[in-house]
Amino acid sequence: MVKELDEKSEPLPDHVGWRLWQASRAWQTEFAAAMRAAGHAWFSEARAGLLGHIPRNGTRQSALIERAATSKQAVQQLLDGLEAEGVLERLPDPRDGRGKLVRYTSKGLDALRDGDRIKLEIERGYIDRIGERRFAALMEALRALDAGRGDEPEKATHSRDETAESK
Amino acid sequence: MVKELDEKSEPLPDHVGWRLWQASRAWQTEFAAAMRAAGHAWFSEARAGLLGHIPRNGTRQSALIERAATSKQAVQQLLDGLEAEGVLERLPDPRDGRGKLVRYTSKGLDALRDGDRIKLEIERGYIDRIGERRFAALMEALRALDAGRGDEPEKATHSRDETAESK
DNA sequence: GGAATATCGTCAAGTATCTTGACTATATGG
DNA sequence: CCATATAGTCAAGATACTTGACGATATTCC
């Protein structure tokens, strides 16, 4: 068999960006597989990214667009798909004739519940793998990183209040 | 302007998957913007993901397919694009009439160099933001997470040796 | 009140990425 | 030689996202 030349000599990346990307993809793959296995065949990563910005009590489509870091057209297309799947529904905003309110259907809420459960299972697996201490350090670093983004210092409120759920 | 109703009440996600996703996207966005600003207009996240699997001395296309977690067709299409951009080139494998060798052009190597520089700059920014201690903890946790995947426990080698570079 | 302007959402077309399936060419093992 | 496996390609379709143009309602200013 071939042997010489480039058999070894392949130092794969080991910087923050790469590690974050790999870890993120691994999580998403695991989560999506579990969601589909739980019967939510409509689930996809892009859709999950959007749903993460929709609180359980719904939101206005325009507010959603502000939070998701994409164009309004991208958001709309994802919403179209989710609405067609029966996960969400759009209602006219009674206070603004132009606006629409987005909210979950019972099917959507079911999916959120399953998602919460799966999320906790994956998290437990992570803790088993690397230990509670490291896991806590990971979360703390990620939160600190996020808190220190664009907007001012805002050193407060990175407390770990009861915001433990949502999805 | 509108005011009451759902102005607050939106606890955004705060679990590992979400945090990893957000952090990963933030990094990629920052990196891609810097790469384009540095004159590498052909740069994209998908392409970066593939390039990360191509060592500086090149590789065989088949070996690349094994490492990247996608289909050979997806890899090929990305390679087609990168070759068309002049970043990579494909040569016939002298030891296997079926195979092709993939390697960087000088343009590609230039991009790698810029990428290394930008990567370090971003990392420095992160350290400024959250401190060296937290940053080190973040990297250690991410490495441990990766080490403890599919393959056995393998509790060794999560040392933080000098593998600080590559790309 | 009414026109200018801004905001909310939609429609339509194009690009990038990734998937599946079918196919050619070369290698390998009997 | 023949059967099978491997390396790569070709083609078609799905998903996610982008840009540009547009209609409808709100808001602002006169």
How confident is the model over B35-51, as a mean pLDDT?
95
Q: How far is A7 from chain B, CA to nearest CA, in Å?
A: 9
For residue B115, which residues of chain A lie inside 8 Å, CB to CB? none
Residue B84 pLDDT level (bands cut at 50, 70, 90)? very high
For A82, list phi and psi in degrees, rounded to 5.
Answer: -70, -35
Residue-wise pLDDT tens digits, A116-141: 999 999 999 999 999 999 999 999 99
Which residue has its C-alpha nearest to nucleotide D24's C1'? A98
B98 CB inside 7 Å of strand C = yes
Burial label, B160 (beta-carbon count in 10 A; 0-12, 13-18, 19+): exposed
Q: What chain B residue is nearest to A19 in terms of C-alpha separation?
A: B142
What architecture (CATH level 2) is domain B16-147?
Orthogonal Bundle (1.10)
User: Minimal CA–CA distance to B22: which of A84, A102, A132, A143?
Assistant: A143
Q: What is the mean pLDDT of chain B?
A: 85
CB proximity under 8 Å: B 50-79 to A = 52-53, 55, 57-60, 69
Residue-wise pLDDT tens digits, B106-125: 999 999 999 999 999 999 99
CB proximity under 8 Å: A 102-121 to B = 119
Q: What is the pLDDT of residue A150?
A: 61
Residue at token pair 């590992």: B16
Q: What is the pLDDT of residue B149?
A: 73
> What is the identity of the amino acid at B88?
L
Residue-wise pLDDT tens digits, B132-152: 999 999 999 999 999 877 643
For residue B68, which residues of chain A lie inside 8 Å, CB to CB? none
* A19, two tokens: 């590690």
Q: Does the distance separating the beta carbons of A122 and B16 come in below 8 Å?
A: yes
Q: How many residues does chain B have?
A: 167
Q: Given 3.30.300.10, 3.90.1170.50, 1.10.10.10, 3.40.50.150, which CATH number is that of A18-143?
A: 1.10.10.10
Full DSSP string of chain A: ---SSSSS------SHHHHHHHHHHHHHHHHHHHHHHTT-TT--HHHHHHHTTS-TT-EEHHHHHHHSSS-HHHHHHHHHHHHHTTSEEEEE-TT-TT-EEEEE-HHHHHHHHHHHHHHHHHHHHHHHHH-HHHHHHHHHHHHHHHHTSSS----S--S--STT---
Query: Which of the residues in chain A have pLDDT under 70?
Result: 1-11, 150-167
Q: What is the pLDDT of residue A10?
A: 59
**Predicted confidence (pLDDT) at residue B6 exceeds the cutoff of 50:** no
Hey, of A16, A25, A162, A167, which one would you mutate to test binding to chain B, going by the most B CBs within 10 A of its CB?
A: A16
Quote the CA–CA distance of B122 and B118 in Å, as a whole number: 6
CB atoms within 10 A of CB B123: 17
